[in-house]
A = this chain, B = another copy of it.
Amino acid sequence: MRQNLHATYLIRSPAEAISARAQALALEQSVEMPLAALTDARVKRDVVAQIESISERSSGVHAVRLALARETVGDDAGQLMNMLFGNSSLLPDIQLEDIDLPVDAAKRFGGPALGIAGIRALVRVAGRALTCTALKPIGSSVAQVSRLAALFADAGIDVIKEDHGWAESDLAPFHVRVPACQRAIAATNRGKGEREPLSQYAPSLSGDLDQMRSQLRCALDCGVTMALAAPMIMGCAGFQTLRREFPQVALLAHPAFAGTQIAPGALLGKLFRLFGADAVIFPNHGGRFAFPRDVCAAIAAGNRAPWLGLKPSLPTPAGGMSVERSAEIISEYGRDVMLLIGGSLLIARDQLAQRSRAFVADVARASDAVTA
């Protein structure tokens, strides 16, 4: 009995050609050969992608929904990306707009291990929006970066992540840098009251799967609870493997290299969640990047809406946000959001501690002002 995953694509095409384009897409994303060359009845019935619907979305743009045979994907995240959009990513006029899959297939992929509730438990923050900042710049010494980590923890920032540009370097190798930053943050946390929020540290993983595993083990050994990784750089299969092997770690997905023809609402909103991201960082509108407001809303909705029994991911708008926009961001996304502000804190230089505290206070105040 054939089981399907579902993918909706937007194709720019004249109306008279869309039926042939849809059929070509169905073949491209499954058997990769002309139907006339296909001799096997089982493959035709059970393996070739099927067109479920074609509808005009706007002038010259058609939505084509395909049923992809689940047997071609299994529970391999890399293979899912391959079958959804491997070859079609090379075409200029097709976007993968949305995906859907059966509940039991989603369960096999697994989704977030901690989700929003798990992250809230780690930072001991129940109701309000969370704060996040980044350890910058890469190239700093271990002493510099751990001092910065202590400052942010002391200011009460919930999640102190590393820039995604941190990798193994002679000056600050992971196994030296990460224990030092974790010690600095933990020392500050020890001074906090029993019910006060705790700062958590999310170091950046780099290299191949083995290197990331060894970095994660090193981090866990010194008490780290979170980590940052970029699924589109490391490969989604590897990201999912980390998820499965380290269910105790909150994984923050970074959007580096996520500029594809997959709609951000599907890629950052749903696929990263499916593969296990507990939080998803995305470039918010009005910052250094160009995602419009409705695209950002689609990402947050994909992260948080009830979906296939998976835990929700914490949407983390970023990319040139300023302290001054905290209230606006929270009023837009509500309280289940994490505000990531980096440069806009560091620009304060000598006043960094004060500005970090102001960020924390603004987020608390703005959270009180919205209905959850």
Q: Is the CB of B230 within 8 A of A144?
A: no
Q: Is the CB of A230 within 8 A of B169?
A: no
Q: Is the CB of B208 within 8 A of A137?
A: no
Number of copies: 2
**In this assembly, does A42 line the interface, its C-beta being within 8 Å of a C-beta of chain B?**
yes
Please, how many angstroms separate the alpha-carbon atoms of A310 and B144 in the complex?
Answer: 39
Please, how many angstroms separate the alpha-carbon atoms of A47 and B165 in the complex?
Answer: 11
CB distance from A206 to the nearest CB of B (A): 5
Measured between beta carbons, the chain B residues less than 8 angstroms from A144 are 40
Please, how many angstroms separate the alpha-carbon atoms of A283 and B32 in the complex?
Answer: 13
Please, how many angstroms separate the alpha-carbon atoms of A140 and B69 in the complex?
Answer: 14
**CB-CB contacts of A335-350 with B at 8 A, as 1s and 0s?**
0000000110011110
Q: Is the CB of B207 within 8 A of A209?
A: no
Q: Is the CB of A210 within 8 A of B241?
A: yes
**CB-CB contacts of A238-260 with B at 8 A, as 1s and 0s?**
10110000000000000111111
Q: A78-B207, A86-B164 are in contact. Are A139 and B72 (CB under 8 A)?
A: yes
CB distance from A282 to the nearest CB of B (A): 9
Q: Is the CB of B168 within 8 A of A74?
A: yes
6 contacts between A and B (CB under 8 A): A24-B288, A31-B163, A38-B137, A89-B256, A91-B290, A210-B241
Q: A38-B137, A72-B139, A78-B233 are in contact. List 6 more A-B contacts (CB 8 A).
A: A40-B140, A43-B137, A43-B139, A47-B139, A90-B255, A234-B238
